[in-house]
Amino acid sequence: MSSFETPQPPTARRRRRLLPLLSLGAAGLMLATACATGDDGADQPHSDTASASTSAAPERAAVGEGQGEPDALTGVTFTEGDGGAPTVEIDGEIDTDQPTTRVLTAGEGEQVQEGDVLKMSIAVVDPASGEVVAENFSGEPEAVPVDDQLKSMNPEIHEMLVGNGAGTIVAAYSPEYDVSVPQTESASPSASPSTQTQPAQLFVYKIDAILPKQAEGEEVTERDERLPDVTVDEQSGRPSIAKPDGEAPQELVVQPLIEGEGREVGADDTVTVQYEGVTWSDGEVFDSSWETGQAITFSLNQVIEGWKEGLAGQKVGSRVLLSIPAEKAYGEQGKPPAIGENEPLLFVVDILDAQASATPSAN
């Protein structure tokens, strides 16, 4: 299979995944990450428990358990608002210099596994006062992939998630730490590097739900006969597009295969999907999220026109087959070597989640 990356822009895809987890919570994950790993190579506080590995399936953590020094967060009390912002009370000082997590509520829902995509709520809290400075508990939870990217950049958060159940609420503390500030080009070569202190922060994470791994809904029996068949592997649930026969439709064709029961996707939404793409001319697969089994999340404002138009208006939980003419894909230039000039494309897409984007399209 080609390593061609689509439908996201070439500079996006999986390296981008951690940054937009939450417009407010990304800072939380990234701050704790910097504290744990340190981009400047200097020694940074890091809990030993987060780096330990085991072949056994992780067990659910009980209330009070965590990584680092969980007893340091004994005084943290979290109360969800009834549709509004949560409140946090902190009894005493948080006394630890390690990145630390502590389970506040042990969820009894389905256990999180590696590769899952979660719906999560996050609150960013002032650890001195307990003031909630940013949160999305009062809004819509966002999709968070539990993948190698998260594991490498933030082992504490990754370990906090895997094995615990939906409904789990965890406090995560990122202590104050210093980072080196790069010198400007005009600085003297002999000048000493400066440092910047990042303040301590407290975060509260809730696992709201685990997204399904494939489309779930009612099968659509009425089909456009111009389009190829789609078969599904019974064991993996992976859909595959048969080799196309005949000429490709000149217009964009959106063929629902399964109709979900979720909300309609908006034109500017951020979606989480599983997909497979083939070229119409030979039916060759040029990209597929099913190869890794990891769903991907991106804004419809970052993809080819055929995706944006084709997915808008469809319901979450649906599986759709998109036949995209070249002018709504990669046009005259194509995307060598996988996609030739003026090549129409086919995609089968499972829509697992959709959420309103923080930055709507200028159009």
**Residues annotated as catalytic (active site), given as ranges:** 275, 286-287, 304, 330, 347
Q: Which two tokens stand for residue 210?
A: 């685990």
d(CA 204, CA 123) in angstroms, rounded, equals: 5
Euclidean distance between the first and the last CA atom of the chain, given in angstroms as a whole number:
35
d(CA 337, CA 343) in angstroms, rounded, equals: 12
Q: Which two tokens stand for residue 158?
A: 């990754």
Q: How many DSSP H helices and E strands does the chain contain?
A: 4, 19
Neighbours of 41 (CB within 10 A): 8
d(CA 226, CA 36) in angstroms, rounded, equals: 54
**CB-CB contact of 165 with 61 (8 Å):** no
**CB-CB contact of 279 with 341 (8 Å):** no
- Residue 49 buriedness (CB in 10 A; 0-12 / 13-18 / 19+): middle
d(CA 306, CA 310) in angstroms, rounded, equals: 6
Q: Are strands 270-279 and 296-299 parallel, antiparallel or unpaired?
A: antiparallel
